[in-house]
Amino acid sequence: MTFQQARRQKLLSEATFQREMDEIPKVIALYSTKPSGAARSEAEGWALSYHAIANATYERLSMRYTAGDPIECLHSELEAVLRAYEEFAKADRALHEDPDRPAFIFTSADDYSRVMQLIGLCYLLHRRDQLPRVSALCDGFRGEDAVYEDLLSFALPDRPDVDEWFWEIPYGDLVRALHSESRDEELSFLTSFLKRWYKGLSGTAWHDTHKSATQAGYYGYWSFEAGAAVLLLGIENDTSLHSFLYYPKDLVAWAKANIGLHDSGDTSTAAMRCEPGQPCPRAGYWLTPAKANSRRYFSAGEIMPDVSSDYGAAIWQWDVAQSDPRL
């Protein structure tokens, strides 16, 4: 298959992809050895360097998906992205002498959209076990944004219920999709969200970068959070969303085909599933994508309940992010 046939966005040229795949490792290596010179102090310089490394690491993952690389190759790369942002957070918190300072500032469209993309990737790549790392990076804004809290609540316990969010355009319709009462409403709001997603984020540094002569800064435009919403809401037919350039339809299809796949290191439990009406095969925390905030503890042998949903059968899945001290 040629590059032109494999790429997932026709905006990406083969020359750009090859150049960036060569340059990104060099950028990471350079900033790993010295603090940025565009700073007033060494501590600030290191924070800027680690931020550049984190962004480059994410851009590499996004670029590979855009170019058509097999999704299986990206499954473990998400950890490298989160690790890089954790290094930035450590340096930034030391600089500001604030151990709780969020690595992403929600009033920044660049930061906010990146958080949503990271959460979306955790779901779509079946790395729910990484969501506590995302929340640890962002929980300086805990309880302040409904989009953030609603998406996390599908996998993490005890997230606060919030009815406000920072960016009505474009994210308000995503919130409304997550709280819709019918499949038609969900798809209608997701359609509206995707219609406004790119234009609504026109203030970001990556917006319209594909139009430059060199495509510098273009690594693919993707609303991974929209794909995650489709997965979490149990929408089986998402073809009405396929016309949107930045809807990650291939990743959504892969996620649906690989339900139960996790990379938690515990292969004995990672893919465990249980149908409603059947006895729980192992004590621990379970959840179902058929319902938000469904995560709960079941004892071994306890009959798994049914959940009323348009999703169909509410299959319960073992949550790799076990946190109960009894386990």
- Asked if residues 231 and 220 have their Cβ atoms less than 8 Å apart, the reply is no
Residue 317's pLDDT is: 78
Reported residue count of the chain is 327
Query: At residue 160, what is the residue type?
Result: P
Give the pair of three-digit tokens for residue 268. Answer: 């004995």
Instruction: Provide the pairing of β-strand 296-298 with 316-318.
Output: unpaired
pLDDT band at 206 (very low <50, low <70, confident <90, very high): very high
pLDDT of residue 265 exceeding 70: no
Give the pTM: 0.80
Query: Average pLDDT of the chain?
Result: 89
* Strand order through the sheet with 284-287: 273-274, 316-318, 284-287, 296-298
pLDDT of residue 271 exceeding 80: no
Domains and CATH numbers, the chain: 3-257 (1.10.3920.10), 266-327 (no CATH)
pLDDT digits (tens, 9 = 90+) for 5-15: 999 999 999 99
266 or 60, greater pLDDT: 60
DSSP string across 204-262: STTTTGGGSSS-TT-S----HHHHHHHHHHT-S--GGGTTSTTS-HHHHHHHHHTTT--
Three-state SS at 82: helix
Give the pair of three-digit tokens for residue 13. Answer: 């040229």
pLDDT of residue 326 exceeding 50: no
pLDDT digits (tens, 9 = 90+) for 133-186: 999 999 999 999 999 999 999 999 889 999 999 999 999 999 999 999 899 999
Give residue for tokens 């340096």: 91
pLDDT digits (tens, 9 = 90+) for 314-324: 678 777 666 54
